[in-house]
Amino acid sequence: MDWTEKYRPQSLQDLVGNGPAVRQIYEWARSWTRESPPLILYGKPGVGKTSSAHALARDMRWEVVELNASDQRTKAVLERVAGTSSATASLLGAERKLILLDEADNLHGTADRGGARAIIEIVKHSCQPILLIANDLYGLSKELRAIGEPVQFRAIQARSIVPRLREICGCEKIACSQEALDAIARSAGGDVRAAVNMLYASALGKDEIDAADVHTDQKDRRATIFDLVAATYAGKPDGELMALSRAVDDDPDAVLQWLEGNLHTLQRPEAEMQAYVPLARADEWLGLTRRRQYFALWKYATATMLIGVKEATGGVGAHGRLMPPARWRRMGSARKQKAVRASVMHKLSHALSLPQHTIREEYLPLVTLLVDEDPLSYAGALALDADELNFFLHDTARAKAVVKELKAAERERKKREKEKEKERKKKEKEPREDPPEPAPEPEKPEKAQPKVNQATLFDAF
């Protein structure tokens, strides 16, 4: 198991170094009122920011709600979690919920400026304590910095890291020389995660470590979803699984897909079958989380899927490589289809000055027929790309060919325009002589250029 998770500080007292920061956080929590500003924990990776947030919650007996992915950090979700409604009451009966916003320097994601402002307002008036976590204080927006109180986490000195490493060696029953511990602590550069990972790499398959065994190339190895799935299938203790789940970046929806998608690696059909029971149950929790936006329920979904699958499969372990599940890839393409559909609707609605629902409900089959008859004209008129055109044609090769032809025609048109412009300028420069200019020839319609048959589209309505 990943030692950084196994030895994550459980209480604020377990944290190494950063005494002033830890005291500041504790005092803030003890005297927290709705008027208290959110804290911004900032500092380099691996110095205990996230650990101290979780340890604080445990010490205060608060529940933690972690919002990491950008789709959980919308105004609506934040309002729900940070608001007053009784719907936010904890299932565990915990008095408060500590809201963690990791990577606060990326809080707004793709939200527009209005969205960002709304988020700031909610953070400012939250009914629950909020901790923002970031590597760089100045990566945060000015507005966020203005409403939060910064708490700096400094790099941990090597001499503070050594005792922690020694403690871990004790728990793992490994003898480690003082030189080896010093070498690891020095090369970690103040990053405790890096130090613990180096110790782990140096100790692999050994029960004694000397300076010569020290591996210093393990700097930023974090627990991944591979570790989590492998540990679940291998039947690791419940606490370790839950700790690992907190360390991976993926949300419980993704974890469920991975657990389900890799069941075949167990090579035990009856174990596979049993595993579907807790997976289905966990899926129900996830559905409830999404529908009601009770993000605190995520924890139960995670526990159900991890511990349930572990129990159901009996720790047989994976045989062969774990892979991203196929359904996951398919969901990616479903998401793309949705985006294409939305953009087609937007373009049609704009071109026809009709609301999208009217087009969807009444005209879509008709438009599809028209586009199918003359894709070149419609792709031009509506500025459709190949994916959008394929929405009507259901023939990727044809859609691509049409768009290619359209682009070639567009290039040709631009080229001709340029030539004409050149010609015109040249004529302007020439000294004007008396002979009257011949009447300009009427422009011939050019065959190669697809003429957009807009009339057809509009006539159809």
Ligand X SMILES: Nc1ncnc2c1ncn2[C@@H]1O[C@H](COP(=O)(O)OP(=O)(O)OP(=O)(O)O)[C@@H](O)[C@H]1O
The distance of closest approach from Cβ of residue 168 to ligand X in the complex, given in angstroms and rounded to an integer, is 9
Q: Which of residues 242-281 bind ligand X (CB under 6 A)?
A: none
Interface with ligand X, residue 156, by CB under 6 A: yes
> Has 314 been labeled as part of a binding site?
no
The distance of closest approach from Cβ of residue 54 to ligand X in the complex, given in angstroms and rounded to an integer, is 8
Q: Which is nearer to ligand X, 220 or 284 (CB)?
A: 220
> Has 44 been labeled as part of a binding site?
yes
Options 51, 74, 202, 289; binder of ligand X; rule CB under 6 A: 51
Interface with ligand X, residue 190, by CB under 6 A: no
Long-range CB pairs of 146-150, under 8 A, 24+ apart, other chains included: 147/37, 147/38, 147/120, 147/123, 148/37, 148/38, 148/39, 148/40, 148/123, 149/28, 149/37, 149/38, 149/39, 149/40, 150/39, 150/40, 150/42
Interface with ligand X, residue 9, by CB under 6 A: yes
Options 46, 129, 261, 380; binder of ligand X; rule CB under 6 A: 46
Q: Kindly determine how many residues on this chain lie close enough to bind ligand X according to the rule CB under 6 A.
A: 22
The distance of closest approach from Cβ of residue 90 to ligand X in the complex, given in angstroms and rounded to an integer, is 24
The contacts of residue 37 (CB under 8 Å, 6+ apart) are 147, 148, 149
Q: Which is nearer to ligand X, 151 or 389 (CB)?
A: 151
Reduce the DSSP state of residue 400 to 3 states and report it: helix
CB 56 within 8 A of CB 24: no
Rg, the chain, Cα only: 31
Q: Which of residues 194-233 bind ligand X (CB under 6 A)?
A: 196
The distance of closest approach from Cβ of residue 36 to ligand X in the complex, given in angstroms and rounded to an integer, is 22
Q: Which of 239, 265, 208 is nearest to 8 (CA)?
A: 239
Expressed in angstroms, the distance from the first to the final Cα of the chain is 65
Options 29, 181, 192, 282; binder of ligand X; rule CB under 6 A: 192
Q: How far apart, in whole angstroms, are the C-alpha atoms of residue 193 and residue 199? A: 10
> Has 440 been labeled as part of a binding site?
no
Interface with ligand X, residue 302, by CB under 6 A: no
Amino acid code (one letter) for 78: L
> Has 49 been labeled as part of a binding site?
yes
> Has 46 been labeled as part of a binding site?
yes
Options 1, 10, 26, 45; binder of ligand X; rule CB under 6 A: 45
Q: How far apart, in whole angstroms, are the C-alpha atoms of residue 409 and residue 404? A: 9
CB atoms within 10 A of CB 3: 17
Residue number with the shortest CB distance to ligand X? 48
Reduce the DSSP state of residue 386 to 3 states and report it: helix
The distance of closest approach from Cβ of residue 46 to ligand X in the complex, given in angstroms and rounded to an integer, is 5
The contacts of residue 434 (CB under 8 Å, 6+ apart) are none
The distance of closest approach from Cβ of residue 42 to ligand X in the complex, given in angstroms and rounded to an integer, is 9
Angle at the Cα of 48 from the Cα atoms of 47 and 49, rounded to 5 degrees: 110
> Has 17 been labeled as part of a binding site?
no
Q: Which is nearer to ligand X, 49 or 97 (CB)?
A: 49
The contacts of residue 86 (CB under 8 Å, 6+ apart) are none
The distance of closest approach from Cβ of residue 45 to ligand X in the complex, given in angstroms and rounded to an integer, is 3
What count of residues does the chain have? 461
Taking CB under 6 A as the binding criterion, the range among 14-22, 256-264, 270-278, 393-401 that sits at the site for ligand X is: 14-22
> Has 47 been labeled as part of a binding site?
yes
Options 17, 190, 308, 325; binder of ligand X; rule CB under 6 A: 17
Residues that bind ligand X (CB under 6 A): 4-5, 7-9, 15-18, 45-51, 135, 156, 164, 192-193, 196
- Name the binding residues for ATP: 43-50
- Name the binding residues: 43-50
